[in-house]
Amino acid sequence: MRFVILPLLLLFMIQSAYAEYDGIFRILDERYVENVADLPESKDLKPDKNIQRSGSIEGWIDIVGFRQMIREDGIDYVLGSPADYAIVQYDAQPKVCPRCVVESFKKSTSISTAEDQITASLEMQLIWFEWVSCGKNCARKKYHTETATFQDREHSPKIYPSLPEPQVIVTQYNNSLYENIGIRIFNDNYTKITFGYQDKQAVRTTETLHVENTSKGIVYGNMTMLDQWEIEGTGISRFYNEVLMDGNLSKMDINEFDIQVYNPYTSRKADPENFTVQRIVLDPGKAFSALLVALLSSLGVLVVGSIYLVNSLRSRWQIRLF
């Protein structure tokens, strides 16, 4: 029995190691993009071929998905009208009797939207004929015309919000030790913010698109949180969500500040004429004094509270510390 269990155990360990190895490389194969234009092309689509019939016409139509779609917080979005981004596949054919002849079979598709529904329609016209007797040694064509409309309805994605005007606040910090400038952009609808001035660059990426596939093979981008900074150049840094530069604003040309905001579909440049410029003067002495007072106050509250707690516990044994 021992000789049987040992090979089985070894086989199980090999399979487990292979699964972990495969899992690691699956993670490495994960792909992320910043813009929907970089999404791979959808291939090997898998439409639902739900057969519909009407008279001598048989076929199907399916809204397989949507081009350039993203998913954010479980909600699907496209840039414009969902009808313009719908991917529709269909097929239809006439089913006439063996001795009948199809003269023409015309097909056309249309897409309409209503509230949160999108409908794809396949409209067809079939003209066929059969030979019927009209007497001895006489036959004529008897024509038939049929029309049919097959439809598929799906939940419609929403239209992604357009980029708002960037709200930029430029702050000149002045104190007796050094001067620096703070640049802050207010809004949560940006996936990336870039700042450039001469040789200084700062890029903040807040969200990115994880490339995924629907069950029908449609490639889309799933919005994923990512707070990442890239800073290049001398005299530039960042504090929390603010870009900091050494220097005085009076010696710089604010029109050279190149600030761009992005979402998964487009970008927008901030207009320097709409910047809010403010000045804050810092006194290190006063700031230190205020910090010291706050620290001593907190320490005093802690000491008094500790003494009160110890005395309360000691009082149960009729022993007081103070």
Per the CB < 8 A criterion, the answer to whether 259 and 251 are in contact is no
Closest by alpha carbon to 67, among 47, 37, 87?
A: 87
Task: For 209-225, give the DSSP string.
Answer: EEEEE-TT--EEEEEEE
Q: Residue 251 in 3-state DSSP? A: helix
Q: Phi/psi class of residue 314: alpha, beta or left (left: φ > 0; alpha: ψ in -120 to 50)?
A: alpha
Report pLDDT for 25. Answer: 42
Question: What local confidence, expressed as pLDDT, does residue 179 receive?
Answer: 87
pLDDT of residue 292: 47
C-alpha to C-alpha distance for 41 and 45, rounded to whole angstroms: 11
Task: Return the number of other C-beta atoms located less than 10 Å from residue 280's C-beta.
Answer: 10
Write the pLDDT tens digit of every residue in 169-188.
999 998 767 789 999 998 76
Question: CA-to-CA distance for 279 and 186, rounded, in angstroms?
Answer: 18
pLDDT of residue 285: 54
pLDDT at 206: 94
pLDDT tens by residue, the chain, 322 residues: 544 455 555 555 555 544 444 444 444 468 999 999 999 999 999 999 999 999 999 999 999 999 999 999 999 999 999 999 999 999 999 999 988 999 999 999 999 999 899 999 999 999 999 988 887 888 888 999 999 999 999 999 999 999 988 999 999 998 767 789 999 998 768 999 999 999 999 999 999 999 999 999 999 999 999 889 999 999 999 999 999 999 999 899 999 999 999 999 999 999 999 999 999 887 655 544 444 444 555 565 565 556 656 565 555 545 444 4
Residue position matching structure tokens 């086989």: 11
In the structure encoding, which two tokens stand for residue 301, read together?
């509250």
Amino acid in position 15: Q
User: In angstroms, rounded to a whole number, what is the distance separating the alpha carbons of residues 168 and 181?
Assistant: 13
